[in-house]
Amino acid sequence: MATLAIYPGSFDPLTNGHVDIISRGARLFDRIVVAILKNAEKAPLFTMEERVEIARSVFRHHPNVEVDTFDGLLVDYVERRKAQVIVRGLRAVSDFEFEFQMALMNRRLSPELEVLFLVPSAQYTFLNSTLVKEIARLGGDIGGLLPPLVERRLLSRFAEERARAGDKG
Ligand code: PNS
C-alpha cells in the first residue's frame, strides 16, 4: 500500500527548515502533503492563498509533494485523506514537550495514527518562522534561511510596511 504522510503547520512563511523536512519526507513516503492550517493566527503575514502558492511554487518539481489546506482537527483531516502518518520536525529539546503532548493527544483522538519526527539539518535547528519575520522586519540579515522566492516576498512585504509608515510621517 502506498504511504501517504501529512506534514501540518502554519508555514507563515515556509522556511528552509520546512523545506528540509518536506524533502526528507518526500524521499521516505510515496506522497507527502504539506497541510496548511487555515486561521492559525489572527493576523498572518501571508494570506492562506499566498502560503499555498509559495509552497506549490517551491515544490513544483517534486511530483510527490502536494500542498493542501485544512481546518478543524488535524486527526479528522488525516482520516479524510486516508493518510497513515503525521510528520513533524523536531529541532531541539525545547520542541519536544509540546510536540510530545500533541502527538499523544492526536493518538488519543485517533489510536491508529502514527506521528513521525524528522530532524532537520543542523544548520536549521535554530530556525523558526516567527524569528525570521522579526529579524526581517527590523532590517537584519535573513540570507540563507528562506527559499529565495520567500525571502524576496518577505523583504518586499516589509518594505511596503515601512513605506506606508513613512507616508504617515
Ligand atoms: O506550524 P505550527 O504552528 O507548529 O503547527 C501547529 C499545528 C497546525 C500542527 C497544530 O496547531 C494543529 O494540528 N492544529 C489543528 C487543530 C488540532 O488538531 N488541534 C489539536 C492538536 S493536539
> Lowest-confidence range among 34-43, 61-70, 80-89, 103-112?
34-43
**pLDDT over 90 at 133, yes or no:** yes
Average pLDDT over residues 43-50: 94
Per-residue DSSP letter, 41? S
Ligand 1 touching residue 44 (CB < 6 A):
no
Evaluate whether 116 touches 44 at the Cβ level (below 8 Å).
no
The arrangement of strands across the sheet holding 4-9 comes to 65-70, 31-37, 4-9, 85-89, 114-118
User: 168: CA distance to ligand 1 center in Å?
Assistant: 37
Ligand 1 touching residue 10 (CB < 6 A):
yes
CA contacts within 13 A on the Cβ side of 144: 4
User: 99: CA distance to ligand 1 center in Å?
Assistant: 10
Q: Whose C-alpha lies nearest to ligand 1, atom 6?
A: 9
Average pLDDT of the chain to the nearest whole number? 95
Greatest alpha-carbon span in the chain: 61
Q: Quick one: what percent of the chain has pLDDT higher than 70? A: 98
Q: pLDDT (tens digit, 9 = 90+) per residue, 47-74?
A: 999 999 999 999 999 999 999 999 999 9
pTM for this predicted structure: 0.95
Evaluate whether 17 touches 48 at the Cβ level (below 8 Å).
no
Average pLDDT over residues 143-162: 93
For residue 160, what pLDDT band results from cuts at 50, 70 and 90? confident
> Lowest-confidence range among 38-52, 54-68, 88-102?
38-52
The three three-digit cell numbers of residue 165, written as one number? 509608515
For residue 168, what pLDDT band results from cuts at 50, 70 and 90? confident
Average pLDDT over residues 75-103: 96
**pLDDT over 70 at 45, yes or no:** yes
Alpha-helix runs per DSSP H in 82-147: 93-109, 129-137
DSSP string of 133-167, one letter each residue: HHHHHTT---TTTS-HHHHHHHHHHHHHHHHHHHH
Residue 43: Cβ within 10 Å count: 5
Question: What is the spatial distance between Cα 43 and Cα 91, in angstroms, rounded to a whole number?
Answer: 25
**pLDDT over 90 at 165, yes or no:** no
